[in-house]
Structure 1
């Protein structure tokens, strides 16, 4: 049996097309385009998720950012910077979520 993607595990039973598009378009196409490094894409994605207050997705993308070479210090600095643009509550929520991921993954 083929291992399910994260999107398939999270939404595949309820919204299978969303899981397919997430896997085939977002991660297999958009994330693999050569115009930006995975590290840069991760920083941009974390910033966008913080700005939108999308904390559930931010957790997964924090782990991805760390795997793509973004340091915990850089994440903290980006989130501090974004507090002035996104708002204090969003930044505090994002820092709390990121810290949880970092501590869980042993990158603290």
Structure 2
């Protein structure tokens, strides 16, 4: 396993080094780097999935990543609004404060 301070290693490498390695090398190394979708498209899909599945722990990281990958603030709000009708009002309402924090942290 690599000793460089990657996102997975920083987040939980101290307790689950193998999971951190899989996160860094397989998920963000192999899966996210596949040529079939752009990082922007992968971010839109991931954010929509996390909102729909009510995965609030992972959502802040992926909202920030989506902004870094070129998804706009307006697009993320539109995703949340659209999902209110498909994944439920509570999932969309719960995503809004997370989005607002991500926007503030990104200076948007």
Structure 1 stretches lacking a partner, 5+ long: none
Task: Provide the C-alpha distance between the structure 1 equivalents of 2:55 and 2:103, rounded to a whole number of angstroms.
Answer: 17
Task: Provide the C-alpha distance between the structure 2 equivalents of 1:29 and 1:3, rounded to a whole number of angstroms.
Answer: 17
Query: Are positions 1:69 and 2:59 aligned together?
Result: no
Deviations along 1:16-63, one digit per CA (max 9) or x if unpaired, are 111000001000100000000111000000001101111121111111
Query: Are positions 1:102 and 2:100 aligned together?
Result: no
Residue correspondence of structure 1 range 1-108 to structure 2 within 5 A: 3-107=4-108
User: What TM-score does the superposition give when structure 2 sets the normalisation length?
Assistant: 0.93
- The alignment covers a number of residue pairs equal to 106
User: What TM-score does the superposition give when structure 1 sets the normalisation length?
Assistant: 0.93
Higher-helix-fraction structure: 1
RMSD of the TM alignment (CA)? 1.0
